[in-house]
Amino acid sequence: MKTNSNDFKIFSGNSNPALAQKICDYLDRPLGQAKVSRFSDGEVQIEINENVRRKDVFLIQSTCAPVNDNLVELLLMLDALKRSSASKITAVIPYYGYARQDKKVAPRVPISAKLVADLLTQAG
């Protein structure tokens, strides 16, 4: 099913809500309603609080410090949006943590940028 080019929503994680709000203001769009909280053990909990079914969704979330916290938040938000039947999800990542680890520099080391990209693709 094809979507209208104006039929999109913008969401943000906790890494840079001010940037997300500036983008929404510039585009004259409301920021999507989502709740990002933590369980008592520190696990991230995500709730998408509006209908995204058959919508194009843009998720603004940087993976700056704390890199791992922001990355997990991004992955969980992507998964929540996918499970909420968004038509298309685009992750807008102003700072891509692990980007400097884009090639193998020694034996027995990961290519972290590739792994993170694969995780993002799989999540949403």
Percent of the chain with pLDDT over 70: 96
Other C-beta atoms within 10 Å of 12: how many?
A: 24
Could you tell me if residue 14 is inside a domain? yes
Q: Which two tokens stand for residue 56?
A: 């194009």
119 domain residue, yes or no? yes
Categorize the per-residue pLDDT at 7 as very low, low, confident or very high, splitting at 50, 70 and 90. Answer: confident
Query: Could you give the number of structural domains in the chain?
Result: 1
Residue 1 lies in a domain: no
Q: How confident is the model at residue 6 (pLDDT cuts 50, 70, 90)?
A: confident
> Does residue 76 form part of some domain?
yes
28 within a domain of the structure (yes/no)? yes
Rounded to the nearest 10 degrees, how much is the dihedral formed by the CA atoms of 8, 46, 15, 101? -100
Give the CA distances from residue 2 to residues 41, 69, 78, 92, in Å, rounded to whole numbers and listed in that order.
42, 35, 21, 22
- Residue 37 in domain: yes
Mean per-residue pLDDT for 1-10?
71
Full domain range(s) for residue 82? 8-123
CA 14 to CA 16: how far, in whole Å?
6
Kindly tell me if the per-residue pLDDT of 3 is higher than 90.
no
* Model pLDDT, residue 80: 98
> The domain spanning residue 102 has which CATH number?
3.40.50.2020
Report if residue 2 sits inside a domain: no
Asked if residue 3 belongs to a domain, the reply is no
pLDDT, residue 4, reads 54
